[in-house]
Amino acid sequence: MSIKACDVKESEIANQVIKYLKMYCKKGAIAYVHSFGCQLNVSDGEKIKGILSSLGFKFTDDYKESDLILLNTCAVRESAEDTVYGTLGNMKKYKKENPDVIIALCGCMASEPKTIEKIKNHYPFVDILFGTSALSQLPKLLLEHYEGNKLAYDTKEYNEEFGADYQIRESNFKASVPIMFGCNNFCTYCIVPYVRGRERSRSADVIVHEVEELVAKGYKEIMLLGQNVNSYGNDLKDGMTFAQLLRRLNDIDGDFWIRFMSSHPKDAGTDLLDAIIECDKVGKHLHLPVQCGSNSVLKRMNRHYTAEKYLETVNYLRERSEGFALSSDIMVGFPNETEEEFCDTLKLVEEVKFDNIFTFIYSKRSGTVAAEMEDVTTDSEKRHRMERLLKLQREVATENYKRFIGKTVRVLVEGESKQGEGWLFGKSSAYTIVEFKGYKSLIGTFVNVKITDARNWAVSGELV
């Protein structure tokens, strides 16, 4: 039987689990939930906390204080997996001393078939394992565990709509809302399509309702999430597109900003770009991962666009929206990347003038197509290219951020800044980090800041 998220409180299974928890939780039902990886995983972690909370759990940041340890894992790089196995290794002693503690593994690694075998063979103290589409099965798995199943697991794909009813959000002014799950793109280096399955879009009515509720509760920033948000709707029968969804969300009354990530350059059509420019609540920033500037490498990566097409998109935005901000993911050292191909990436970075880039050295991910490619480029060459890319980006960003000096920008205040006593930071519509002096009570509100100074990763100024 599958439990819908909305049924957790009333379900027979939940009642039985709660009885067991009372018997076995020595610390009074305390859970440690740790999410690795991207924002989608963090959002899943918040939903898992919601389910656990409805079973009576409270939460801690110290696993040594807990009755249940849940690692919500990322599989994007093998080093991410090594981190999880290292963490599990560290927890072995705690489990030995506290045999009633439950250790659970979920997230993207848990959706890989080889993980179950590895856990059974090398980490037999793990009690529960479930995949990214089986969050709602957690109460059932807890029950199976208490009824004697050595490793209770479920990695099936459940098609039920798993909404936000139970989500325990970290912030009371910033909320993420997944609009779709999975990915159909199969970039040759990437494991995500294998662990998150094919694209599934949530219904626009459900998303709009969820955002209306969040805005009514006072949330000021709504981050729409998906591996490729701009292919949103391709699988829906009603013809809804991401551009139309943005316009519907923009029509919701209230003072709030809409952001989204990630977008794929191959699906960034003018209908979407126009919506971003015209919708006043949509941030004037696009995170558009280009990966690299070489057409031959883009082809080997199976990305389905060229550097020229990417630049066309960038120019379209910049011609229509002054100072429009772009950020990107860039990968260095894809198998057999030549010096010339790498220089195409440097050229593109110079031309686009990204405000911010997230950089990665290609890392071989077993299970992907690229993992089978011979690679003659040495690791030290790859590291050297990365240093050259970072140096260039620092120069570009230093120039870029000067465009804000003298301007007054609206900022959503996020917290205290490391800059020093009395300093706060927030983000502008262009997703620029803005630092300024102000009272802590401003956190979670919009303010105006006049920019007086710029660095290569942030700007600072004075409250207006």
| Helices 39-54, 138-146: crossing angle, 10 deg rounding | 60
Place of tokens 């696993």: 63
Q: Which of 70, 108, 152, 331 binds ligand F3S (CB under 6 A)?
A: 108
x/- track of binding to ligand F3S for residues 29-48 (CB under 6 A): --------xx-xx-------
Residue 331 contact among ligand F3S, ligand SAH, ligand SF4, none, beta carbon within 5 to 8 Å by kind: ligand SAH
Residue 108 contact among ligand SF4, ligand F3S, ligand SAH, none, beta carbon within 5 to 8 Å by kind: ligand F3S
Strands 423-428 and 408-416: antiparallel
- Report the largest interatomic distance among the alpha carbons of the chain, rounded to a whole angstrom: 66
Helix, coil or strand: residue 409 = strand
Beta carbon of residue 174, minimum distance to ligand F3S (angstroms, whole number)? 19
Distance CA 129, CA 123 (A): 12
Nearest CA to 226 out of 275, 166, 193, 177 is that of: 177
Q: What are phi and psi of 60, to 5 degrees?
A: -135, 160
What are the counts of helices (DSSP H) followed by strands (DSSP E) for the chain? 13, 19
* Number of residues located near ligand SAH, criterion CB under 6 A: 17
Beta carbon of residue 262, minimum distance to ligand SAH (angstroms, whole number)? 4
Q: Tokens for 216?
A: 């009514």
> Is residue 228 involved in binding ligand SAH (CB under 6 A)?
yes
Q: Judged by CB, which is closer to ligand SAH: 76, or 134?
A: 76
Q: What are phi and psi of 225, to 5 degrees?
A: -120, 145
> Is residue 76 involved in binding ligand F3S (CB under 6 A)?
yes
| 31 Cβ contact list (under 8 Å, min separation 6) | 49, 52, 57, 58, 59, 60, 66, 67, 68, 69, 70
> Is residue 232 involved in binding ligand SAH (CB under 6 A)?
no
> Is residue 365 involved in binding ligand SAH (CB under 6 A)?
yes
Helix, coil or strand: residue 70 = strand
Distance CA 56, CA 67 (A): 12
Footprint of ligand SF4 (CB under 6 A): 183, 185-187, 190, 192-193, 227-228, 264
Beta carbon of residue 100, minimum distance to ligand F3S (angstroms, whole number)? 29
| 86 Cβ contact list (under 8 Å, min separation 6) | none
Q: How far apart are the first and last CA of the chain?
A: 58
Q: Judged by CB, which is closer to ligand F3S: 36, or 425?
A: 36
Q: Name the residue with the smallest CB distance to ligand F3S.
A: 37
Residues 275-294 interacting with ligand SAH (rule: CB under 6 A): 289, 291
Q: Tokens for 132?
A: 């990214």
Beta carbon of residue 304, minimum distance to ligand SF4 (angstroms, whole number)? 10
Residue 193 contact among ligand SF4, ligand SAH, ligand F3S, none, beta carbon within 5 to 8 Å by kind: ligand SF4
Q: Which of 48, 76, 325, 397 binds ligand SAH (CB under 6 A)?
A: 76
Residues found near ligand SAH in the complex (CB under 6 A)? 76-77, 189-190, 192, 227-228, 262, 264, 289, 291, 329, 331, 360, 362-363, 365
Residues found near ligand F3S in the complex (CB under 6 A)? 37-38, 40-41, 74-76, 108, 192, 195-196
